[in-house]
Copies of this chain bind each other. A is one copy, B any other.
Amino acid sequence: MNKLDTKTHIMDIARRMTMQQGFDAFSYRDISEEIGIKTSSIHYYFPSKQDLAEALVDDYIDYLSQGLQNINENFPNGYERFKGMLELMIATSGQEKQLCLCGMLSANMHAVSEPARHKLGEFFQRFETWTTETLKQGVQDGSIHHLVRPVSTAAEMVAAIEGAMLIARVCLRPNYLPETLDLLLARIRP
């Protein structure tokens, strides 16, 4: 198989396992069995498991940044952009009760290197910044009603999104995640 294919395949499986069960909860063997190559071949691409974690973080940040940029380009106003972001988060993490990759790695932060931990911090910072700008934009274009401090609302929103994904994994209510994220949307609806 092509180098990129295998590397991508490894990361796809590792990403899914991380978001479903946590970074400590799977081994190179688990990946190797699913993909059909030996564990030593995985070490060829990711010499240590921390390298794999860092690659997952980089990839996830790229993926979400791209997604948010697409939203900015394709949605006309702040409200629609915010809504698009919530749908993106549900599409990325919500199915199968998966946690946001960066959220899960924050829980498992002992397993990742210091540079990768720093990137996790940057991820949340950038997520908050995007949300702040989007809320401001929405207030300006009239699609979102007045907010006292958009930067504060954005911080609450990001925390609530991550927390909702965490709680959804064990919540007894079947539609907890979409319902809770919808509350966030209802809050800014004009």
Contact = CB atoms under 8 A, between A and B. Distances in A.
Interface string A144-170: 000000001001101111111011011
Nearest to A105: B170
Contact of A162 (B21, B24, B166): B166
By DSSP majority rule, is chain A's interface helix, strand, loop, or mixed? helix
A147 B183 CA distance: 13
Nearest to A161: B163
Interface of A: 20-22, 24-25, 99, 102-104, 106-111, 117-118, 120-122, 124-125, 152, 155-156, 158-164, 166-167, 169-173, 179-180, 183-184, 186-187
Given A110-B22, A120-B170, A186 B152 contact: yes
Contacts of A160: 156, 159-160, 163
A92 to B, nearest CB: 16
